[in-house]
Amino acid sequence: MGMVIDGKAVAKKYKEEIIEFTEERKNNSLRVPCLATILVGEDGGSLSYANNQKKLCEQLGVINRQVITESSVTEDRLINIIEELNNDCTVDGIIIQLPLPGHINEKSVTSCISRKKDVDGLTDINTGKFYKGEECFVPCTPQSIINLIKSTGCEIKGKHAVVIGRSNIVGKPAAQLLLNDSATVTICHSKTANLKEICKTADILVCALGKPGFITKEYIREGAVVIDVGTTVVDGKLKGDVCFDEVIDTAGFLTPVPGGVGALTTTMLIKNTCEAMIKNVH
């Protein structure tokens, strides 16, 4: 029987550090960090995520300024909103909830966020710095993946890591972070042949497919660290890519869904916002 990686427990350590930081600033009559969340329309999933951000910010002593626009907002107006936040010295971090409506060019909009306030690592400048190994904000979900792996005490250096999924938001940056920690990395995707056999060789397996229950015990090497990034709603419940009840008997460590990667991601976003304040003291 493998061990469950508790994302909430890992997040607790970072939350305590953030609270200590914000309390110290309050005690010294200094401004606390501010995260601006831009929400286009009121999609149920995005609104729920934005509200969770706000709730956690309040718990940690960070200000969360929500900017909600109608779904029909023009691209120019959205860019103007971002520019206003870029120029607002009381705002330290900016995140725009994705995806955006079809009439808006997502890349054009996200590229307008100041790299100094791009706390989710979405801009082209931060992306370029990330892949060149320069200092930048690391995307929050991949950052959470690495922190959860390290929480097990298992060393990444020299291990074979397999990442299933090649998205720009999760798969590719997760693979890069593993490479930065000296893992040998294989990226798999929908066109990969012999997926099961490749996964079976992994010491570390990161699953970001978006296919609930796809990964069964036949894909898992005995004792592997398995990180499930999948979040699909099935019959009103959140399901991961990994068939948890099967895989837990084979894996050495496994993240649950919910309670794994997702439990840490928003905390990483707020941590990045605090770091943005430190780097860009106004």
Residue list for the binding site = 165-167, 231
Nearest to 161 by CA among 190, 144, 184, 131: 184
- HSE-CB at 120 with a 13 A cutoff on CA atoms is 20
Residue 218 is given by DSSP the state G
Task: Give 74's contacts (C-beta < 8 A, 6+ positions apart).
Answer: none
Q: What is each CA distance from 9 to 20, 35, 252, 278, in whole angstroms?
A: 17, 23, 18, 26
- CB count, 10 Å around CB of 128? 12
Going by the annotation, the residues of the binding site for NADP(+) are: 165-167, 231
List strand residue ranges (DSSP E) for 132-180, in order: 160-164
- HSE-CB at 218 with a 13 A cutoff on CA atoms is 6
